Structure 1
Amino acid sequence: MSGSGARYRQPALEDLLNPKSIVIVGLSARPGSTGRRILENLRRADFGGTVYGVHPSGRDVDAVAVYRSLADVPDTPTVAVVCTPGDTVAALVEQSGEKGCRGVVVFASGFEETADGAARADRLRELAGRYGMSLVGPNCLGVFNPGRGLWLTGTRYGADLRAGPVAVVSQSGSGCILLAGSGRLGFSYVISSGNETVTGLADYLDYLVQEPSTRAVGIVVEGLSDAEGVMAAVRKGHDNGVAVVALKVGRTELGARNVASHTGAIAGDARAYEAFCRRAGIVTVTDFDELTEALAALSTLRTGPAGERVAFVGLSGGEIGLVSDVAADFGVRQTAAEDEESGAVRLARLSPGTREELARILPDFATIANPLDGTGQLVGDPERFGRLAAAVAADPGVDLLTVILDAPPSLGDRLVTSYSHLLATLPGVRLRSGTPVMVLSNYGGGLHPFAAEALAGSDIPIVHGTRAGMAAVAAVTTAAAHVRATAQDDAQPDVTVTDSGPAESLRAVRRALDASPAGQVSHEVLAELAERYGLRLPRRITADSADGAVAAAASVGFPLVLKTASPKVVHKSDFGGVAVGLSTPAQVREAYEAVTSSVAGHLGEPAPQVVVEEMVTGGVEAFVGCGLDPVYGQVLALGAGGTLVELQPDPALALLPVSPGEARRMVAGTPLARLFAGYRGSPPADADAFVDLVQRVARLSADLREAEVEIDLNPVAVLPRGQGVRVLDFRIVAAAGPRPAP
């Protein structure tokens, strides 16, 4: 047991994962039955607690007392392991609660993942709540902890599993089998969480990040039901030095459909998931190889890097070139002195002093760079290699030293001896410099055991495979960056709101939505909100006739834009609903007839109302929008705007609130960064004003959260530096209902 006095979201989970006694419901003597396999696992692992059985036969199994019902068990077992079909589970869970069990493990399927299983799932939640129990599953493979001999599972994971600092929670049972069978990790707990009907990912994480023997948690996620709880648990892990690494299943449309058919989970939008992980401080990976190597690295390192600046050192020009190629795929880039963004892997710049020291160590033909090829001359010279590694690790601009060194399991004895001597220099380098050190083998099958033995007992991880190893390097730097960035990214935007503020904004929007059959906020209310939140709109007047449009043009002034005001038209240019560059009354009259006729033809009904608007010229067209994700909450998106907004495959997304630093990082990840800098001779745009606008939109969205709306500003004209921004189109509509499971 953890014995830490920690406070958990589900207090009974402490007892479930550390039981004094277990009752196997459905324990029979039949070879291969689930109950029999669980008993065999407990015996093989030498579980120290008492084990009971329940079966209608009442016949003892392998010296374990078996009773006809739970009520007949003379003691109060801590945990009931239910190994019976789905239609029997609810009654047995109720009996477990009446008996006083603190937790239940349910293997059976037939709950949320089936069309008629929702009522069964609701019944389990009701019973668990009534009796204060935690419940693993249903539709799972159970729980094991090799350090305590706890095997609440009928699966045989292998005889060589060892205790260690890695915990795993996987909604996929096969994910547990794969990670446990990799041979790369030692485990504190492995939990096959299944449907998470009662006890969810947030509950497990909350427990595991407070568990003293755990240094890294890997999660295999099909869908999230409690994003806020997960975020709170992950951040508690940051305080305790525990990193969380996530592999998401169902990031694509096809994958999401398969997830839904398996567990009934709503997969959520893939980009919103990435934004959630950045905000929560979860390290993300894309496959099981990356997950395994990231967990190996994070659980071995006892001190994370102080920054993201990485130096790569190897002894082969070809392999250094390969590492450079793969590093580029991961977005690794040379750091610049003025670059203050965090959260990415960067190539460290070696200082002049370090370069001078390396020149004394390396042969004349060596090129001093990062990544650094120490050349094959050092393979047989561990003393020079140690000096080289020490020089790089001691550089004040290096936060993490990654040594590229391969010693495949079938390597010849002479080379194994040489590589072992090279590796043996690294613990001293780590100790003297204080800089974290990793070893990356380009071969995915690992290192020769003699070579690996050179680092045994140190906190220097060995990661396998160029791509998976690079993912592990990124995981290490990203985990450290997440901890540093959390406070900044949670900062509430400092935006002044005029008049009566959020309460009046919410009331006005609700009234406007109630009055609109199309669920769209009127131009009048939008203008009020724009004034209140400092969203600068062009001068505009609404008209519902050609004469009215001409009169409005005289008031607004030329040149101007005329566009449809129909709430049924979202992308106005697609409907012929916009005319630009109008400079005379005649042009306004002609544009009115053309726009209203075109829109009416598309809609099949009259659309006489238009907006006559000041024409803003120049600048970069951008968009900012806020929506409501059913899993992750309010999400802000931004990117290049105008008519091409939907052709941009990956606009930047973030969860609210959005700090100024995060807004700048979002811009940097889109084409806006180049456009704002002055693309093809254009003057630099007012990027700071756009960041301020993003803050204001985020504040508006947060204030309107209860109204459940979508906010869209497209296009936004970002004018030359010092001239600010102008919002050329502004819409607020009622959000669509929660998406059905894909």
Structure 2
Amino acid sequence: MVKSLDRLLRPKTIAVYGGGWSGNVIKELKKISFAGEIWAIHPTKKFIEGVKCYRSSFDLPASPDAAFVGVNREKTISIIKELAELNAGGVVSFASGFSETLADDKSRYGKTLQDKIIAAAGRMPVLGPNCYGFINYLDNALIWPDQHGGEKVHTGVAILTQSSNIAINLTMQCRGLPIAYVVTVGNQGQLNQAQIAFELLQDPRVTAVGLHIEGIKNPKDFEKLAREAKAKKKGIVALKVGKSKLAESATVSHTASMAGSYKGAIAFLNKLAIATIDGLGSFLNALMILHVHQPISGSKIASLSCSGGEASLIADLAEPLQFQFPKLSLKQKKELKSILGNLVHLSNPLDYQTYIWNDQEKLQQAFKCMTEVRYDFLFIIMDLPKQDRCTTEAWVPAIKAIKEAKKSAMCPVGFITSLEENMPEELAKDLLKHAIIPLTGLESSLGALGALRDVSKMWNKQSTPSVIWAQWPDRKSRTINEFQSKKVLKEIGLNVPKGFIIRDTNSLVNKFRVLKKTVALKAFGINHKTEASAVSLGI
């Protein structure tokens, strides 16, 4: 079993091996104001970015908590072995050219080298190979050889991805989402995403987890992660790639991930109460909701906007997601009429128009008519103008009114812009201070909310038996026939149609009488039966 990741992810001492990229790690450590010690290791250089160089691992003043190994793939193995002997806390293996080359390297040399890395590490944790590392924005610590856009936070979400570039992009988000950790896992040679996410859930400062998944390494670890998330009431959202054939092919060459059946992976993750969404916009919106409120518990929503156009848009987008807009109560209508006047049509979604736009007191009263009802979620739609060309002065009374109305709210309140670019980052950060959820883009926000609603449903159910074998096989995969597959699925609790193996005409007639239903007849021992015309339906 691999040791705890605590020293690796929250280091006090960091060792950096190599030249060019290693210098970037040191630069980023200084920029983030890392308070611990930085030790550079290089056989010939005296200093790297102003940091004194040691000749070898065994010249270091102590065992490092974390290390960046930024040398070629062959040299990586010996350095990792040295660090394991020194009882280091963990390693980020940066080099590429390992198992991700399998598709094109018939010699399997890269895979052989990766196996040697894992053997050399023993119980010492290793991220990668073929990855950038991690950023810990809670404790101002990182092993990261490139720029990033995050900043120190006190609580926030943890994001794990197999793509270092996706990780960089996510740190550059301007939505005000507090990010506690960013971790790249690369080829997942030793540690997989689910194992690392499980460790991050133990940090009380982490509010939710986001996973960008290329391939699922060990389903059993995901099941363990999901149970822990439910126990701690910390939601998980996943963006699973590999829906198209091109994406499936790209994941193999990128991080040696077999994307597998996309639909099967989505069904599996949803079974575990892990929300699945499409696109990075919905991914970030879902994490924002989880950070503030965790999953919603139903489908009854309400919407406020000063435009009938926005009210119509959200109504159309919500319908296919099976959200419901409850009618306004008589009490709500009476109060809103006294505030908005006789010319405003009172309904949900509510277009309150602009008659009271500059009147903070009346706006607050109108908003409270909606916030003080137990909706499952309330959207207040409001796009801000371009700050470099326009003034936002006219929006101040409405924003202040929303903050005041939130104080007595009986439902989660989201401040949502119809376009993703119309939410200034400073406004988003300010809204978070008042427990108002800043969301960007109507479609991606509703999609995120729908995915999280399904999580809440699963959490409210009693725990179900494990859907994964107790020991997920590490040995080479094998192919079993359809009858055997359905037998295995039935044994772990899944519903499968009744079936029999028929070897002669008499058996066929007898079994047909037993089933007493329309059946499908399939030839046994043939792969791709449809292509071989070996399937007959509706008998």
Q: TM (normalized to structure 2)?
A: 0.83
For structure 1, the residue ranges without an aligned partner over 5 or more in a row are: 1-8, 334-344, 494-517, 579-642, 644-714, 716-727, 729-742
| Alpha-carbon contact 1:423-1:451 (below 8 Å) kept | no
What SS does the aligned partner of 1:402 have? strand
Coordinate RMSD, CA, aligned: 3.7
Distance 1:412 1:351, change over 3 A: farther
| Alpha-carbon contact 1:408-1:445 (below 8 Å) kept | no
Per-residue deviation at 1:209?
1.4
Correspondent of 2:215 among 216, 223, 230: 223
Correspondent of 1:232 among 224, 227, 234: 224
Q: Distance in 2 between matches of 1:562 and 1:251?
A: 31
Q: Distance in 2 between matches of 1:437 and 1:256?
A: 38
Correspondent of 2:308 among 317, 329, 350: 317
Q: Distance in 2 between matches of 1:263 and 1:576?
A: 37
Q: Which residue of 2 aligns with 1:187?
A: 179
Q: Which residue of 2 aligns with 1:326?
A: 317
What SS does the aligned partner of 1:24 have? strand
Q: Which residue of 1 aligns with 2:280?
A: 288
Q: Which residue of 2 aligns with 1:402?
A: 379
Q: Which residue of 1 aligns with 2:257?
A: 265
Per-residue deviation at 1:450?
7.7
Q: Distance in 1 between matches of 2:59 and 2:525?
A: 68
Q: Which string of whole-angstrom CA distances, capped at 9 and with x for unpartnered residues, describes residues 479-504 of structure 1?
A: 4334224x26x2699xxxxxxxxxxx
User: Greater RCO between the two (CA within 8 Å, min separation 6)?
Assistant: 2
Distance 1:255 1:418, change over 3 A: same
What SS does the aligned partner of 2:420 have? coil
Q: Which residue of 2 aligns with 1:379?
A: 357
Q: TM (normalized to structure 1)?
A: 0.62
Q: Which string of whole-angstrom CA distances, capped at 9 and with x for unpartnered residues, describes residues 199-231 of structure 1?
A: 111121101112121112221111110122122
Q: Distance in 1 between matches of 2:140 and 2:308?
A: 48
| Alpha-carbon contact 2:289-2:295 (below 8 Å) kept | no
Q: Which string of whole-angstrom CA distances, capped at 9 and with x for unpartnered residues, describes residues 524-568 of structure 1?
A: x9xxx9xxx998899x99646xxx99xx89x979x9999989646
Q: Which string of whole-angstrom CA distances, capped at 9 and with x for unpartnered residues, describes residues 682-713 of structure 1?
A: xxxxxxxxxxxxxxxxxxxxxxxxxxxxxxxx
| Alpha-carbon contact 2:481-2:525 (below 8 Å) kept | no
Per-residue deviation at 1:452?
5.2
Per-residue deviation at 1:168?
1.1
Q: Which residue of 1 aligns with 2:27?
A: 40
Alignment of 1:594-605 (within 5 A): none
Correspondent of 1:144 among 135, 143, 146: 135
Q: Which residue of 2 aligns with 1:428?
A: 404
| Alpha-carbon contact 1:304-1:436 (below 8 Å) kept | no
| Alpha-carbon contact 1:403-1:438 (below 8 Å) kept | yes
Distance 1:434 1:122, change over 3 A: same
Q: Distance in 2 between matches of 1:92 and 1:372?
A: 64
| Alpha-carbon contact 1:210-1:237 (below 8 Å) kept | no
Per-residue deviation at 1:442?
0.9
Q: Distance in 1 between matches of 2:15 and 2:426?
A: 45
Q: Distance in 2 between matches of 1:535 and 1:290?
A: 36
Q: Distance in 2 between matches of 1:37 and 1:431?
A: 46
What SS does the aligned partner of 1:281 have? coil
| Alpha-carbon contact 2:235-2:295 (below 8 Å) kept | no
2:440 aligned partner, one-letter code? H
Q: Which residue of 2 aligns with 1:125?
A: 118
The answer on 1:166 being equivalent to 2:154 is no
| Alpha-carbon contact 2:10-2:136 (below 8 Å) kept | no
Per-residue deviation at 1:306?
4.1
Q: Which residue of 1 aligns with 2:470?
A: none
Distance 1:535 1:96, change over 3 A: closer
Q: Distance in 2 between matches of 1:210 and 1:519?
A: 41
Q: Which string of whole-angstrom CA distances, capped at 9 and with x for unpartnered residues, describes residues 640-692 of structure 1?
A: xxx4xxxxxxxxxxxxxxxxxxxxxxxxxxxxxxxxxxxxxxxxxxxxxxxxx
What percentage of aligned pairs have identical amino acids?
23
The answer on 1:481 being equivalent to 2:457 is yes
Distance 1:122 1:355, change over 3 A: same
| Alpha-carbon contact 1:420-1:450 (below 8 Å) kept | no
Q: Which residue of 1 aligns with 2:474?
A: none
Alignment of 1:340-739 (within 5 A): 345-396=323-374, 398-410=375-387, 416-448=392-424, 455=431, 457-485=433-461, 487=462, 490=464, 543=505, 567=524, 643=537
What SS does the aligned partner of 2:145 have? coil
| Alpha-carbon contact 1:83-1:107 (below 8 Å) kept | yes
Q: Distance in 1 between matches of 2:520 and 2:257?
A: 43
| Alpha-carbon contact 1:12-1:103 (below 8 Å) kept | no
Q: Distance in 2 between matches of 1:119 and 1:562?
A: 48
Correspondent of 2:71 among 57, 75, 84: 84
Per-residue deviation at 1:422?
1.3
What SS does the aligned partner of 1:313 have? strand
For structure 2, the residue ranges without an aligned partner over 5 or more in a row are: 103-107, 468-479
Q: Distance in 2 between matches of 1:62 and 1:534?
A: 62
Q: Which string of whole-angstrom CA distances, capped at 9 and with x for unpartnered residues, describes residues 240-266 of structure 1?
A: 232211111212222111111211111
Q: Distance in 1 between matches of 2:244 and 2:534?
A: 34
What SS does the aligned partner of 1:196 have? coil
Distance 1:82 1:306, change over 3 A: same
Which structure is larger by alpha-carbon Rg, 1 or 2? Answer: 1
Q: Distance in 2 between matches of 1:560 and 1:145?
A: 59
Correspondent of 1:13 among 5, 20, 27: 5
Q: Distance in 2 between matches of 1:19 and 1:238?
A: 28
Q: Distance in 1 between matches of 2:188 and 2:411?
A: 41
| Alpha-carbon contact 2:25-2:143 (below 8 Å) kept | yes
Q: Distance in 2 between matches of 1:449 and 1:380?
A: 23
Alignment of 1:37-76 (within 5 A): 37-57=24-44, 59-76=46-63
Q: Distance in 1 between matches of 2:383 and 2:436?
A: 15
| Alpha-carbon contact 1:409-1:449 (below 8 Å) kept | no
